[in-house]
Structure 1
Amino acid sequence: MNIHFDQLITVTFTLFAVIDIVGSIPLLISLKDKMGDIRSSKATLVSGGLMILFLLVGQQFLSILGLDIRSFAVGGSIVIFLLGLEMVLGHEIFKGDSDAASGTVVPIAFPIIAGSGTLTTIMSLKANFQQVYILAGIIINLIIVYIVLKSLRFIEHALGKAGLLAVRKFFGVILLAIAVKIFSSNIAAFGK
């Protein structure tokens, strides 16, 4: 079998941009402060499982529930919008949960890492790329996600309190913009 590295690189970078784990660092740090330590391996495995599951049976799963990709994307965009709003305004919308296990799954594994944008992108990539390249791209991104989650404490110390606040507000605005884009590009379908 010939390996097309150009396809692998395209898929990997597309998923990296959509997952945006680097942009999520301020949000992850604030969630870590609320919940205690984030279970890096669990968050990585759960989000990876969701991505692979959606790669294999995503379209069928949504059909069984009577949902389409657009409904899924709109729901995810609302959660992302609220998270962005929380980051920008500094008001707590998602109450701290002392149970780090539940917080590791929601909202960290889903929708922050494997959100509607990521899952929709994975299904969209199937139209242009072989499944093996998408799977490899997912695995490469999961390794990056795991490294970032494990390094949160170091990143927090490197940025400092003021740097963290500035980065948090900046990426909060970015999250709001992403949420609005996902919402607006998918809500139009409901009028038809």
Structure 2
Amino acid sequence: MPNTRTEVLVRPGTDGDLAALTDIYNHYVRETALTFDTDPFTPERRLPWLRSHPEDGPHRLLVAQDVRIVGPASILGYATSSAFRPKAAYATSVEVSVYCAPSATGRGIGTRLYSSLFEALAGEDLHRAYAGITQPNDASVRLHERFDFRHVGTYAEVGRKFGAYWDVAWYEKRLGPQS
């Protein structure tokens, strides 16, 4: 029987991943309310987002790649840490997110990505991570709670997509030394 086990490499995202990352994100734009973007992106329009996540520092982009596959289909998902808010006093806070290719959900890819992301962020001058989760999304809530995020509040009906209003639950995680 052939080995069907996925061999996953988690690594920093590169320009060469842009088309695959855009395709993954556009699935969520077109098919779900998990992001409040409503218009799909072209890779060119998504490039500034990719470039805002260098290989080091507090704002990262990590991708999960199936090393047995060549080409865009090898990208199984990605996780990011991004600026929480643009004002200087927020510099020690990040907003994190994880997106998996539709064919890769429920396979532990999000867990692998977040494990690697939080390990990479451990040496950064960061105090808190935040995640906004459109409701309902039990799988994302479970993922974040597995990483010690705690619910800190919900914005009721904060976004409108597909003709409906959606709540966003906010979760917080302590980073850095426990003071």
TM-score in terms of structure 1 length: 0.26
Q: Which has the higher contact order (CA 8 A, sep 6+)?
A: 1
More strand by share: 2
Greater fraction of residues in helix: 1
Q: TM-score, normalised by structure 2?
A: 0.27
